[in-house]
Amino acid sequence: MGSLFDGGFLRVAMTDRRRCARPLPEQVARVAGAYDALIMREKDLDDGAYVALAREVMAACGRAGVAFVAHGHVPAARELGVSRLHLPLPALALAGRPEGFDLVGTNVHEVAEVAAAEGLGADYLVASPVFAPSCKPLPGRGVAFLEQVIAAAHVPVLALGGITDATELAVRAAGAAGAVRMSGAMACA
């Protein structure tokens, strides 16, 4: 997503193949035109299965001009030649920023995590959950939480959790660099 942050508000899809009504590569092809980037999460897969699925998803992204971001699977991302990586903050803290990636992002769930994430070399942050997500029984933290994360951060901040067309307008107004949709991108017909 490196240069993607230069072109205005970023719309990102995050995968969850278990919510799809069709195979993940087909769902990605179906919705890709609405997004600038796609984070392939699928954290339950081993590296081999992740690589196999990612090759198909990357092809769908490539046809649509959507940037591909690997999630968590560092060896798989290297095997795929991916330059963009998203890691959970505990993984980034444990192993440090992996070498060889142009862009590394992480999630923050508390304002206090912003400094730690930036200190570990995060190039962007995903503040979560801003609104109540439909995929987990969690309350949203609200726009005020997002604004606090943005104020504390020195890197772009994306919003995740309960992102719809209406809530996307709210996170834009709050100054987020973009919004990440999971359920909205994966569960649509």
Report pLDDT digits (tens) over 51-66. Answer: 999 999 999 999 999 9
pLDDT of residue 134: 72
In the structure encoding, which two tokens stand for residue 119, read together?
């200190």
pTM for the model: 0.94
pLDDT of residue 188: 58
pLDDT at 3: 65
Looking up tokens 């087909």 gives: 26
Task: Give me the helix-helix angle, 143-152 and 165-174, nearest 10°.
Answer: 40
The Cα–Cα gap between 176 and 165 comes to 15
pLDDT 10s digits, 92-101: 999 999 999 9
Q: Give the mean model confidence (pLDDT) for residues 4-15.
A: 88
pLDDT band at residue 139, thresholds of 50, 70 and 90?
confident
pLDDT of residue 161: 94
> How many helices (H) does the chain have, and how many strands (E)?
8, 8
Helices (DSSP H) in 17-46: which residue ranges? 24-31
pLDDT (average), residues 76-80: 98
- Sorted by where each begins, the domain ranges of the chain are 3-186
3-186 adopts what CATH topology?
Answer: TIM Barrel (3.20.20)
Instruction: For the beta carbon of residue 10, count every other beta carbon within 10 angstroms.
Output: 21
State the Cα–Cα distance between residues 119 and 20, nearest whole angstrom: 36
Of the chain, the percentage scoring pLDDT greater than 90 comes to 79
Q: What mean pLDDT is predicted for residues 171-175? A: 97
Tokens 């609104």 locate to: 131
Q: What is the pLDDT of residue 26?
A: 92
